[in-house]
Amino acid sequence: MNDEHVFTLQEAVQEAKRCLNCAQPVCRTGCPIENDIPGFIQAVVDGNIGQAGEILAQRTNLPAICGRICPHELQCESHCILARKNAAIRIGKIELFIADMIAEMGFGPARKVLPPKKGNVAVIGSGPAGLTIAGDLAKLGFALTVFDSQPEPGGVLMYGIPAFRLPKHVVHREIDKLRKLGVEFKVNVMIGPDITVDTLFAKGFDAICIATGNALPQTLNVPGEELPGIVPAIYFLQMVILAETSRIDPGVVPVRFGDRVVVVGGGNVAVDVARAAKRRGAASVCVVARNPIEQCSFLPSEIAAAKTEGVVFRDGLAVDSFCGADRVEKVSLNQGSVQLTVDIVLIAIGQRPAARIVSTTTGINVDSAGRVIIRELPFGITSRSGVFATGEVVHGPATVVLAMREAKKVAAGIASYVEAKTLMTLCESQEGEGSLESRGIHD
């Protein structure tokens, strides 16, 4: 959703008034984090934007982000009873309006920040899962420190989603809200090589949550994939964002003006990189998907936007090799029946977890794909006591809001674990004191 399409106050109220106030609001069941959608919509109708923000804050720490990038058309809006008449309430745009309005007006959910006293928690990774963990636990009175290897926090929100879909000032704003809750961010820290999990425990953290996402790109494993000019999509997006924020020379971004670009992939990341490539001045951009387009995970709205910008989609085509002398020149598809001439190929077929944390720590089990295995009680705990995990490093690729949903469960699991640990320590201490007194030993 582009910022130029944000509702005005009048438009937001008019849209909110269309809500039927259903006795059983199925729109809420369509929201992975079960936002009180009728509640914040009615608050907009009443003109109480502050209350609308309070209602949103009950379930989400990132409303301005969710309002922009959540697939509302497949979730809450598709469940709206008016969707049967193709007239669903624009829930996402109302959420976005509320989040931006409370930021612009300088007011927001009035929330008393409790002094940290329940325990110290470290979160590794500052993507949507890590930020959700941090926000939920900070509100409960825990001390939170979030570690990230990048120069700025935000994870995929900062470095994996192009600015035309998610402006970076919005990410900064949502993170600043967490800072005001007492969350501390430490960047340019690589957990594993720089600081191990054991070191974090030695520093006094009661629990540690791994929320690092999937950092390494998947490969096609076809001939010629090692040729220069074949670039992982996530690397390309990071370079674009770093160039846009003046952290690197724009000339080092892989796509240049006039390039012929092929994007390989069947998901929304492929659409993101295709649109970003067009904005870099690519002469042509073609998205190649193995499956029929109706079986891909593309959002219809994103495909429509990409096509408007000149992106071409070709489905039912499997890459079998790349050809070229010093760099990639052609992509061979469907056993050579289709060949495309290219200057740059962007691979957007998914990612996998890095092993830098589990390889420097004992006791954390992973599956054959390298994803961390968790237990149900307390939810999110790994095979090592005190270490939790959530997000894509556990569940694989997912939307931002689905990562938030699982993270909220893990936050509750961490709270239960630390509180139980504190109580057990207190009981052991009291038993020890009682034993000393019974022996007549006093200070």
Q: Using a cut of 0.95, tell me whether the model's pTM lies above it.
A: no
Q: Which domains does the chain have, with CATH numbers?
A: 3-104 (1.10.1060.10), 120-215+353-427 (3.50.50.60), 218-351 (3.50.50.60)
The residue written with tokens 């387009």 in the block is 293
Q: Do 131 and 62 meet the contact criterion of CB atoms below 8 Å apart?
A: yes
pLDDT at residue 434, rounded to an integer: 52
Cα pseudo-dihedral 200, 201, 202, 206, rounded to 10: 120
pLDDT of amino acid 1: 41
CB 60 within 8 A of CB 395: no
How far apart are the C-alpha atoms of 141 and 169, rounded to whole Å?
A: 27
What is the pLDDT at residue 422? 84
Per-10-residue mean pLDDT, the chain, length 443: 71 96 94 96 96 94 94 95 96 96 74 70 97 96 96 95 95 95 96 95 97 92 97 96 92 96 96 97 98 92 95 97 96 95 97 92 93 91 96 91 95 95 78 48 38
pLDDT recorded at residue 126: 97
- Cis bond before residue 378 (omega within 30° of 0): yes
